[in-house]
Structure 1
Amino acid sequence: MMRPMRSNPPPKSAPAADPASSATPTDSWSPSGGVQLLTVPDELAGQRIDNFLQARLKGVPRSRIYRILRKGEVRVNKGRVKAEYKLQAGDLVRVPPIRAAEQAPAPVAGEQLRKLVEESILYDAGGLLVINKPAGLAVHGGSGVRLGLIEVLRQMYPQSRFIELVHRLDRDTSGAIMVARKRSVLQHVQAELRAGRVGKSYLALAAGKWPRGRRVVEVPLRKNTLKSGERMVSVDPEGKPSETRFQVLERFRGATLVAAEPVTGRTHQIRVHAQFVGCPLAGDAKYTADAVNREFRELGLKRLFLHSALVRSTLPGGELVEVKAPIPAELEVVLAALRDL
């Protein structure tokens, strides 16, 4: 199961006096003002500081938000924090002045995109949303992506003060993803994730013949960032422990349909573990050879064949929720073509 990053401990007070210590706490941010102090309300406790800032600094690029965090221009209770720091109710967030030139018009989801996301809602009850995310849609903006799933949902539910991703999917991966509309739901499901009690199953098409009897891949992974900014993951003895369970569902000529259940939640985990056993995923531009991908394109595959088919978790009240995401039509076409070979 995917394991979210641990939050940092509450930041310590800086030894020197903060220049904004005389500012008055506010509940909103003004691009024309100077330093602002924002008090975190109860319902936003548990939210990451980067997401908190992104929701309030409308039009400010995500790259700029990460930069002011790295440089220590953003302070929480007068202390430096990292982007993954999770806020607590009553935290005092210092926001530096942002020049108007650094702002860009806040991206607005078009009617077609809103309709696509609305039609992709599989479950909406008890403070939990499950979306059948289309391939190609990032889960959030950043790194050249102006608008992601979470931004679209926040525009669709303007009355909701709390909408956060429970976990993530790669941009090219389709399928079920959980989004919390209540802080209590986010905290509960992420605790279930850490405890290994959340079920997640993917459908993946592996190139070649999957080794018989290979049901578990347990090799450490290391994440690297290239000079271009592209993220790549490799098997490395000094990497983080990673485990994926695989089950062969159907064998074809030159390919194998497998179910993959990640026990850990490392970046690109299923993709790299499949590559490790010699069966990289069809349509994977990062980890599969171009010649192999060309063969699958001839069968109609235009994307990575990886789909989040099922998520299962309890809600805070104990109710068990299991949601299945139907496989997209464009992937069914590929399977039909393979069966005809």
Structure 2
Amino acid sequence: MLSDHVLFIDGEAIVVDKPAGLPVDRPRDGSLSVENHLAGLTFGFKRWPTPVHRLDRDTSGCLLLARNPKAHARFQQAFEQGLVEKTYRAVLAGEPEGDEGTIDLPLAKVSSPRAGWRMVGDAGGKPAVTRWRVLARSGGRALVEFRPETGRTHQIRVHAAEGLGAPIAGDPVYGGGQGPMLLHALKLVLPRDGKPAVEAQAPLPASFAKAGFDG
């Protein structure tokens, strides 16, 4: 139950620690999604909360939900204006050169009947910028902190694979896909006028420790 994964709650916002494997939107196959848990996240309100942004199915961590339509509109605007501070942790299947930097790689969507769709680096695509720094290295892998300054689909996954030359461990599209995908939305901070910021941090899942990285 997502009600057991609440990291932050007030009259406008709820932040939950979304488990890996749970999609935000209802899949075509009808399997469970965040939508199936919304009724259990009312906490005394009649209205169900609604997700403000998206995390990939295999990404765990901080997911923001709004508790009313006005808050949803304001929160979405904050995301669109780049005002939301997002911090991710990922284990890369390889070690990047250097210890920190900024990836400025525009992204575009491509698709084919056989392989489906994916995002690729493309100079003619939409701007995408991610700051990164290595936190630890072990066994040919690296624990990396990512701070995306834009919010493109699959941005961190493509920036790791193409920008750093080391895909996220377990990534089924841009990497080898062996084991769970080790990408976690660690922290979210959304400023609000006249109120304290919405701020939450989700603990690293056990899959990171199993991979040899616990912080």
TM-score (norm 2): 0.90
Q: Distance in 2 between matches of 1:188 and 1:336?
A: 36
Q: Distance in 1 between matches of 2:27 and 2:167?
A: 27
Please identify the structure whose Cα radius of gyration is greater: 1
Structure 1, residues 62-115: CA drift from partner, whole Å, max 9, x if none? Answer: xxxxxxxxxxxxxxxxxxxxxxxxxxxxxxxxxxxxxxxxxxxxxxxxxxxxx3
Q: Distance in 2 between matches of 1:181 and 1:258?
A: 33
Q: Pick closer, same or farther for the CA change 1:324–1:232 going to 2, 3 Å.
A: same
SS at match of 1:319: strand
Q: Pick closer, same or farther for the CA change 1:324–1:142 going to 2, 3 Å.
A: same
Alignment partner of 1:310 is 2:187: yes
Structure 2, unaligned runs of 5 or more: none
Indicate which of 117, 132, 152 corresponds to 2:17. 132
Indicate which of 149, 160, 168 corresponds to 1:281. 168
Indicate which of 26, 29, 37 corresponds to 1:152. 37
Higher strand share: 2
Tell me the equivalent position of 1:238.
Answer: 124
Q: Distance in 1 between matches of 2:194 and 2:48?
A: 19
Letter in 1 for 2:3: E
CA drift of 1:163 comes to 2.2
1:49-64 equivalence runs, <5 A: none
1:210-221 equivalence runs, <5 A: 210-221=96-107
Q: Pick closer, same or farther for the CA change 1:213–1:275 going to 2, 3 Å.
A: same
How many residue pairs end up in the alignment? 212
SS at match of 1:275: helix
CA drift of 1:132 comes to 0.3
The runs of at least 4 consecutive aligned structure 1 residues that moved more than 4 Å come to: none
Q: Pick closer, same or farther for the CA change 1:253–1:142 going to 2, 3 Å.
A: closer
Tell me the equivalent position of 2:92.
Answer: 206
Q: Pick closer, same or farther for the CA change 1:129–1:228 going to 2, 3 Å.
A: farther
SS at match of 1:184: helix
Tell me the equivalent position of 2:67.
Answer: 181
Higher helix share: 1
Letter in 2 for 1:242: A
Q: Distance in 1 between matches of 2:150 and 2:211?
A: 29
Structure 1, unaligned runs of 5 or more: 1-114, 294-301
